Amino acid sequence: MKRGWSLAIGLFVGVALFGFFVLDRSSLIERGEEGEKAPAKIQVKIALNDWADNLEVRNAIRRYNETNPHGTEIVIMDIPTEAYNDTLNMLLTSGKGPDVFVADRIWLASYVNKNYLENLKPYLSQSEYWRYPLWSLDYAQSSMFKGGIYFLPSSVETLRLIYRKDLFKNAGLDPDRPPATLPELKTAAEQITATGGGVRKYGFALPAGDLQHSFQLDLEMSNTYSGVFYYDYRTGRYDLSVYLPWLKAMREIKRAGSLYPGESLLKHENALKQFAEGNIGMMYATSQDYVKLREYAPRGDWGIAMPPAISEELSGAGALMMQPQSPLVVNSGANAKEEAVKVWSYLQSADFQTVLFQQALAIPLVDDIVNRTNQQPQYAQFKDFYPTAQEAFYPLWPQIMDQYDPNTVAPGPRNSGDRPRMELYLQLIADQEPLPMEEALRRETERLNQMLEIAATGRFFNPEDYVYPDFDPLHPFAGGH
């Protein structure tokens, strides 16, 4: 009996000690093998948006934790991708944000003006700057960011038209000749829809449930290939009338029943899934979408092409806009700031950026990673998203809608400052705008230019910083400030 009690007591104590060990893992003291107290690694919390879902990214973080000499441990915060920005903004507002995180470029000016980001300039050596292309340094040192360096973009996001070759064949279209112009896109969309074979197939999808993707990328970014953009760099004024041909083409596609239904609620990820299942003939996609497409394992043959131009005459009239992929930043409120900067440096390193590249999560433009033949991703089609001679970076344009909108950080709908323009585009396509298309665009243009004038009276915005009298859409970065 006594022996049984002793055993029970021993088990109780053992379980209690095990429970204490588990509960105490997050403390700053850990016990060594000899029972001596040793300082634990300082934890640095990071948020990587959809990168964190990748196994090889997590393995790279694990290797860093096992081998780094800095006494730091990276802890990945699991923030759902679909609610990443909203959740991140609430955490930053409450002072509980991650120490290092991927920041949507749309929010960067707001984060800087609210002092959420650490100025990295004091931590950077001259050799660090040489790793980055000129566009990256110019972008990071824009006057919009108050003279500091709060990030250094290391990778690029490109835009393409993806299309189903099998649906092209079924519709009697040449699967090796995707539409090069908007009229050709409209014709192809209608033929694909008309030859669905008893199952509803739609020629084109516009996932307007994600306003930023469907309009800031699919509309505004794609039309730069035709030499037009809603901000005129030469005059420093807005003009939305340049998008009349694209908006009219989308409205005609919808009227013909060739647009995937429910576009105002359709999320981009759901559209990619429907494309993979063979229910959508064409849609826009970025290099960041490639991993999701691979995950959905598209059935049948599909291709990747440049976005269609407004017309044959305007095809290639401008360089297709590339954009910096959302950069990594350091929280100015990080408890262990130096350790957080070291983690930021690791995430910017050639080793980590190579992991992202090999997993088709990013197209790095540092350290010549893309041209190292022994480090290419194992996905042949990803190469079709690589930057071409027909693409370029553009100078920054005023993003005052986000910078001066009080709802852009705490808490508010994503892209709230740009929302009126995005919603107008959607209403015009859906025939829900009572005004004629030309008049509606004229009024929104007037509103945007009034906002520029108001912003010019503030402390952080100088309109002249965004005016380029010699701007050339074929060489957008030439002749810049």
The whole-angstrom separation of Cα 297 and Cα 289 is: 13
User: What stretch of H or E contains 455?
Assistant: helix 437-455
Averaged pLDDT, 281-287: 96
Instruction: Please compute the mean of the pLDDT values over residues 352-368 and round it to a whole number.
Output: 93
Provide mean pLDDT across the span 35-63.
86
- How far apart CA 138 and CA 465 sit, in angstroms, is 12
Give pLDDT tens digits for 421-439. Answer: 999 999 999 999 999 999 9
Listed as own residue / partner, the contacts of 217-220 with beta carbons closer than 8 Å and 24 or more positions apart are 217/159, 217/284, 217/286, 218/159, 218/284, 219/243, 219/246, 219/247, 219/425
Residues 6+ apart with CB under 8 A from 140: 149, 150, 151, 152, 153
* pTM confidence score: 0.85
pLDDT of residue 248: 97
Domains 40-154+325-348 and 159-322+415-466 share a fold: yes
pLDDT, position 40: 75
Domain ranges of the chain: 40-154+325-348, 159-322+415-466
d(CA 359, CA 275): 21
Highest CATH level, class, for 159-322+415-466: alpha beta
CATH of span 40-154+325-348:
3.40.190.10
Structure confidence at residue 320 (pLDDT): 98
Say whether pLDDT at 22 is over 60. Answer: no
| Token pair listed for 446 | 């007037």
**pLDDT exceeds cutoff 50 at 283:** yes
Is it the case that residue 362 has pLDDT exceeding 60?
yes
Residue 17 above 50 pLDDT? no
pLDDT band at 35; cut points 50, 70, 90: low
Classify residue 330 by its DSSP letter. Answer: E
Answer whether residue 19 shows pLDDT above 50: no
DSSP class per residue in 58-97: HHHHHHHHHH-SSSEEEEE----GGGHHHHHHHHHHTT--
Residue 155's φ and ψ, nearest 5 degrees, are -145, 170
Cβ atoms of 232 and 473 closer than 8 Å: no
**163-202 pLDDT, tens per residue?**
999 999 999 999 999 999 999 999 999 999 999 755 689 9
pLDDT tens across 217-236, in order? 999 999 999 999 999 999 99
